[in-house]
């Protein structure tokens, strides 16, 4: 692929062999304001109990995690005729929206971004018709540009009843740290079994943007922008159901990873989970997380930093990652730095 064939030109200053990182405005100058616009349109429609308005802020198909398994909604007509319970504002059918209730926006936070997508978290408080707090809704939303249209393609919500707002779940904090540690050690030790233990069987929904292996390979071939595409993209959503047998048969291709992970800095030696890996929102069986990792060469210099939001669920007695936006961008690539 030539420079002329790529949808996004390589920004001035991006060094040969390097990947796009957050120092370049193309990473955020369009995606962040568009994502904010979309999420506000979504919340306005939801708070006004306008299902048709909600539909205008969504890609189809889209997936929603109400509990620990994703719900796939294939089309606008499917949404209008049979909306998932947490966004069923019609007053008919299965719904979790109290009649006469109202919602107040609490906060919005940007988590990650790239030229073609952004991840936001949003919280709002729901009140009873007579003005008492009913529940807090914390959500993680993936907004993507598909064929020129920005909309929500995947989201997950956690509703916390009033009496449980502020409750901390120590086992979730521990699970997030443990998974982050074990995932990094799986690569350091070339231990596929350790990686596999970080996943849980079952249905998952994710968004395919521009994967880390593909980004690294294209960077080595000096076409780092090749995977940032919107034209002709109809859907980035991937809904799958993974068995334990399929997980056990996974192959991380450690040799390829080790050869690429050092970028232009040096030979990769090890990776550590981000020191501020955190739980964004949690309940007894699901959490929205903000993690990622930093890669190092042997003398402990940083190679790169990646940030990755995710959806962690509790299934069959263990916690594991079950979906989310994935590793959509490299936040900081020292291969772009001088020296």
Contacts 24+ apart (CB under 8 A), 85-92: 86/157, 86/159, 87/46, 87/51, 87/54, 88/51, 89/46, 89/49, 89/50, 89/51, 89/54, 90/51
**Domain assignment of residue 10, yes or no:** no
Q: Based on the domain organization, do 149 and 96 belong to the same domain?
A: yes
Q: What is the mean pLDDT of residues 214-218?
A: 91
Structural domain harbouring 48: 31-164
Q: Which two tokens stand for residue 262?
A: 């050092």
Q: Based on the domain organization, do 190 and 145 belong to the same domain?
A: no
pLDDT at residue 213 in the model: 86
Q: Based on the domain organization, do 159 and 41 belong to the same domain?
A: yes
Which tens digits make up the pLDDT trace of 57-82? 999 999 999 999 999 999 999 999 99
pTM over 0.75: yes
**Domain assignment of residue 14, yes or no:** no
Which tens digits make up the pLDDT trace of 11-60? 999 999 999 999 999 999 999 999 999 999 999 999 999 999 999 999 99
**Domain assignment of residue 143, yes or no:** yes
Q: Based on the domain organization, do 57 and 195 belong to the same domain?
A: no
pLDDT at residue 328 in the model: 76
Number of domains forming the structure of the chain: 2
C-alpha atoms less than 13 angstroms from C-alpha of 149 in its C-beta half-sphere: 14
**Domain assignment of residue 1, yes or no:** no
Strand partners, 304: 295, 333
Q: Based on the domain organization, do 239 and 147 belong to the same domain?
A: no
Q: Which two tokens stand for residue 55?
A: 């539909």
Domain edge (last residue) among 149, 164, 179:
164
Q: Based on the domain organization, do 150 and 208 belong to the same domain?
A: no
Which tens digits make up the pLDDT trace of 264-320? 899 999 999 999 889 999 999 999 999 999 999 999 999 999 999 999 999 989 898
pLDDT at residue 145 in the model: 98
Q: Based on the domain organization, do 80 and 158 belong to the same domain?
A: yes
Q: Which is nearest to 249 in space by CA: 207, 201, 313?
A: 201
Q: Based on the domain organization, do 154 and 268 belong to the same domain?
A: no
Which tens digits make up the pLDDT trace of 220-264? 999 999 999 999 999 999 999 989 999 999 999 999 888 888 988
């Amino acid at each position: 692929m030539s420079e002329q064939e790529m949808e996004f030109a390589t920004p001035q200053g991006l060094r040969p062999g390097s990947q796009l990182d957050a120092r370049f405005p193309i990473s955020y100058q369009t995606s962040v304001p568009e994502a904010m616009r979309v999420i506000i349109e979504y919340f306005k429609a939801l708070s006004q109990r306008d299902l048709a308005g909600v539909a205008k802020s969504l890609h189809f198909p889209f997936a929603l995690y109400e509990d620990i398994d994703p719900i796939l909604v294939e089309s606008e007509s499917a949404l209008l005729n049979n909306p998932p319970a947490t966004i069923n504002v019609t007053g008919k059918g299965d719904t979790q929206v109290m009649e006469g209730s109202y919602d107040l926006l609490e906060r919005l936070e940007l988590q990650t971004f790239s030229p073609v997508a952004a991840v936001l978290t949003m919280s709002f408080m729901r009140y009873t018709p007579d003005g008492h707090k009913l529940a807090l809704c914390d959500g993680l939303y993936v907004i993507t540009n598909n064929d020129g249209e920005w909309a929500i393609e995947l989201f997950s919500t956690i509703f916390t009843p009033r009496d449980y707002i502020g409750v901390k779940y120590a086992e979730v904090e521990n699970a997030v740290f443990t998974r982050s540690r074990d995932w990094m050690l799986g690569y350091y030790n070339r231990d596929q079994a350790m990686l596999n233990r970080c996943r849980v069987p079952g249905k998952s929904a994710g968004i395919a943007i521009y994967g880390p292996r593909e980004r690294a390979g294209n960077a080595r071939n000096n076409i780092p922008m090749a995977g940032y595409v919107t034209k002709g993209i109809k859907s980035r959503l991937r809904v799958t159901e993974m068995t334990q047998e399929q997980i056990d048969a996974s192959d991380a291709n450690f040799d390829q990873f080790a050869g690429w992970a050092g970028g232009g800095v040096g030979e990769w030696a090890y990776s550590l989970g981000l020191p501020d890996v955190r739980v964004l929102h949690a309940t007894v069986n699901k959490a929205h997380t903000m993690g990622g990792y930093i890669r190092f060469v042997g003398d402990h210099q940083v190679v790169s930093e990646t940030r990755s939001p995710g959806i962690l669920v509790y299934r069959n007695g263990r916690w594991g990652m079950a979906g989310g936006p994935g590793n959509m961008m490299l936040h900081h690539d020292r291969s772009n730095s001088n020296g």
